[in-house]
């Protein structure tokens, strides 16, 4: 739904306009909220995730302007986007969220793995298989296992 914006670029056609922006913004909004849930007060992780949102926010702002939003509305969308990850972190402490937190943590881990796989395997032109990259991933996993 986010057309690639969560991994550094967006595949948006000119014809998508405002409705395309709304779809991308909504997908990134949910993505950012769910990303905040497992952080639960871990300030250093919250800072890292928030810094990771800067390039996405720049893309989002550009898409907002291309969708003919005024600069004020585009800035408002960015402000809302910037606040949603910390809000997700705060929601973790609500009593009614305790039931759903394990499922949302699993969703967050799934999003992390999905985006990581896309960045890892679709960064080549034509999305070709890169054997050397697979070997490096496996060596990294082996090293993590040996250290842990």
- Map out the domains of the chain as residue ranges: 5-147
CA distance 71 to 64: 8
Global pTM value: 0.68
Residue 111: the pLDDT is 82
Contact, 15 vs 5, CB < 8 A? Answer: no
Predicted local confidence at residue 118, as pLDDT:
75
- Provide the pLDDT for residue 80: 93
CA dihedral 47, 48, 52, 58 (to 10 degrees): 20
* Distance in angstroms (rounded) separating the CA atoms of residues 35 and 78: 17
Q: Which residues of the chain have pLDDT under 70?
A: 1-16, 41, 122-129
In tens, the pLDDT along 12-21 reads 555 567 888 8
Q: Are 40 and 93 in contact (CB under 8 A)?
A: yes
For residue 142, the model assigns a pLDDT of: 94
């Amino acid at each position: 739904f986010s057309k690639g914006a969560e991994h550094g670029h967006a595949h948006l056609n000119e014809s998508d306009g405002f409705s395309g922006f709304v779809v991308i913004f909504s997908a990134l909004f949910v993505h950012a909220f769910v990303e905040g849930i497992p952080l639960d007060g871990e300030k250093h992780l919250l800072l890292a995730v928030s810094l990771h949102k800067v390039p996405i926010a720049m893309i989002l702002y550009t898409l907002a302007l291309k969708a003919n939003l005024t600069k004020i509305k585009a800035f408002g969308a960015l402000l809302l986007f910037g606040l949603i990850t910390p809000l997700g972190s705060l929601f973790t402490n609500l009593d009614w969220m305790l039931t759903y937190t394990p499922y949302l943590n699993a969703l967050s881990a799934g999003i992390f793995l999905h985006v990581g796989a896309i960045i890892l395997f679709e960064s080549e032109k034509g999305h070709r298989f890169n054997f050397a990259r697979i070997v490096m991933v496996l060596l990294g996993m082996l090293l993590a296992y040996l250290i842990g």
